[in-house]
Amino acid sequence: MDEYRQVLHTVAENPGLPVEDLQEVAPDDVNDVDDHVERALDQEDIIEMNGKHWIVRQGEFAFETYDHPVS
């Protein structure tokens, strides 16, 4: 898996973290986490709100089922 995908998986597994914390939990073989986060923001693969990051639930990160009680 390339570094970019590893960063996406890190965000998916650790939602709501700022970049500094993502750098700490990213795999050791990933360089330039903040550059990958910027690219992911530009490509709208992740979103940022109040300095915290979340994965956009699409593609391989989409939910298989949506268990919202109203829907």
Task: Determine, yes or no, domain membership for 68.
Answer: no
Task: Determine, yes or no, domain membership for 71.
Answer: no
Query: Is it the case that residue 67 has pLDDT exceeding 80?
Result: no
Q: What is the pTM of this model?
A: 0.82
CATH at residue 45: 1.10.10
Task: Provide the domain count of the chain.
Answer: 1
Task: Render pLDDT for 18-59 as a digit per residue (tens, 0 to 9).
Answer: 999 999 999 999 999 999 999 999 999 999 999 999 998 777
Signed CA dihedral, 9, 15, 18, 21: sign only: negative
Give me the DSSP letters along 14-69: STTB-HHHHHHHS-TT---HHHHHHHHHHTTSEEEETTEEEE---GGGS-S----T
Structural domain containing residue 18: 3-61
Task: Determine, yes or no, domain membership for 66.
Answer: no
**What is the reported pLDDT for 5?**
94
Query: Is it the case that residue 14 has pLDDT exceeding 90?
Result: yes
Helix (H) or strand (E) run with residue 1 in it: none
